[in-house]
């Protein structure tokens, strides 16, 4: 604290607060969640998974476009 801060009641109250104690069980849970998230990210970034996703999206686009073309042809004929 600087000289001007010594008169600030909020800073004095904060200085009196106890330091936070760590909870080992909570730390273990957080660490496990982080590792699980990192593993999911690693699996999602797998090249095989990315290829399969691209193939699925491409297949759905082809299906959609072919349906649109068939509808246009059907409407033009009648």
Residue partners of 11: CB distance under 8 A and separation at least 6: 1, 5
pLDDT at 4: 62
Query: What are 23-66's pLDDT values in tens digits?
Result: 899 999 999 999 999 998 887 777 888 889 999 999 999 999 99
Phi, psi of 2 (to 5 degrees): -95, 175
Q: Sign of the CA dihedral 44, 46, 48, 50?
A: positive
Positive or negative CA dihedral for 51, 54, 60, 61?
Answer: negative
pLDDT of residue 68: 96
* CA pair distance 36, 42, nearest whole angstrom: 10
State pLDDT tens for residues 6-32: 688 898 898 899 988 888 999 999 999
Q: What is the pLDDT of residue 5?
A: 65
Report d(CA 53, CA 25) in Å as an integer: 38
């Amino acid at each position: 604290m600087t000289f001007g801060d010594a008169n600030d009641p909020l800073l004095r109250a904060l200085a009196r607060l106890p330091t936070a104690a760590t909870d080992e069980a909570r730390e273990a849970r957080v660490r496990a969640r982080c590792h699980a998230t990192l593993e999911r990210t690693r699996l999602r970034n797998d090249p095989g998974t990315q290829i399969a996703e691209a193939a699925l999206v491409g297949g759905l686009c082809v299906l959609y476009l072919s349906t649109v073309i068939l509808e246009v042809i059907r409407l033009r004929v009648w």
